[in-house]
Each structure stands twice: as C-alpha cells, then as structure tokens.
Amino acid sequence: MKPVTIDTLDFLKKVGKREIMAIAIAICLLVFTGYYFFFLSPVITKFLSVFREVSRVQSRIDKAELTISRMPVIKKEIDELKAKADFYGGMLPKEEEFPEVLENLSEMARGAGVKMTKIIPVKDRKDRGKEHHSAIYSQQPILINAQCGYHQLGTFIAEMENAQRFMEVTDIKIDANMMNPKRHNVQLIVKTFILKGGNDD
C-alpha cells in the first residue's frame, strides 16, 4: 500500500469542498443503487406478491364465511323446494298408476250423478305430429261419454278440476237426449299428465 505522503496531503488540500461533496454523493448513490437492486427490490417484489395472495385468500375466506352464515337459510330453501317437488310430483300419476286415474274419474262421475257410458285414453288430434318431448312427463287425453243433466255435469267438472291430480277439461259436447230430456248425451276430453319412468325410484 502506498504510504500517505506530504504530497498526498497537499493534493487533498487543493481539492475543494464541492468536489469532496460531489464524490461523497456519488459514493452514496452508488451504494444505495446497489442496495436497492440487490436487496430492496427483491424484497419489495416478494412483499407485493405475498400481499396479493393474502388478499385473494382473505376474499375466499370472506365468501366462505358468508356461505356458512347462510347455510341455515339455504337448507330451509332446499327443504321447501323438495317439499314442493314431492307435492307436485304426487299430483302427477306414474305410468303404472294410470288405471287408478280412470277409476277415480269413474268414482267422481258416480258421486256427481253422472252415468258414464265410455271412458278411454285417446290420442289428442291437436297434438298429432307435435308430440310432447318432455323427459319427465307425457300428456294423456281421456275421452268420456256420459249421460247427465247440466247440474250433475257442472259438479263433475268442478270435482275434476279441484282433484289432487292435474286435470284439464276440454272439448265439451252436449246433445239433447230425446228419450230423457233431463239427461243429455255429453262428450268431453279430460287431459292429465303422466310421469314417465314411474318404476325408477
């Protein structure tokens, strides 16, 4: 190492305060730049990455807590929907229960004082060529021929429309009965709906 001599000291004396300040500032800037790029910058980048991940996790936690707090409400809604599904499902007979539907119609007719002369499932002429393609149910029209008065007919129709099964009365035709003016010849179509795949429980 070169020893400090009188010439060196003379050189330092000749250097002004401004030059020394500039050299000191340059050295500080160099040290700070190196510190930033080699230490501070990676730390800041890692901190921001961790902060964003914490924010995402906190958001998921908040959503999970909200869902958990709503679980009793959601469970109640599910139970209500299941009860409605069971109720309306009970209003649709299964395929193997269709003979029971015909028997129920016969009982309603007898209770209303209507004498049935025919009750058979038919193909709806209006629906030919445009079948109901529901995977759950199919529409089944039923033709009924009967003899009754207007009052008995009204009672019979009211009972069908208020029954626990979905039924729709359409295409009513009434002809006078010359043999018995108080009991007319009546023809009507009752449409109901049948659950498909009734055996798959």
Of 10 and 177, the structure prediction assigns the larger pLDDT to 177
CATH architecture of 95-195: 2-Layer Sandwich (3.30)
Q: How far is CA 165 from the centre of its chain?
A: 26
DSSP-assigned letters across all residues of 37-98 = IIIIHHHHHHHHHHHHHHHHHHHHHHHHHHHHHTHHHHHHHHHHHHHHHHHHHHHS-BGGGH
pLDDT digits (tens, 9 = 90+) for 56-71: 888 888 888 888 888 8
Of 106 and 197, the structure prediction assigns the larger pLDDT to 106
pLDDT of residue 201: 45
pLDDT of residue 114: 92
pTM (two decimals)? 0.49
**What are the extents of the domains in the chain?**
6-63, 95-195
Number of neighbours of residue 188 by Cβ within 10 angstroms: 19
pLDDT digits (tens, 9 = 90+) for 91-116: 666 777 788 888 889 998 999 999 99
pLDDT digits (tens, 9 = 90+) for 110-150: 999 999 999 988 875 555 444 444 567 778 899 999 999 99
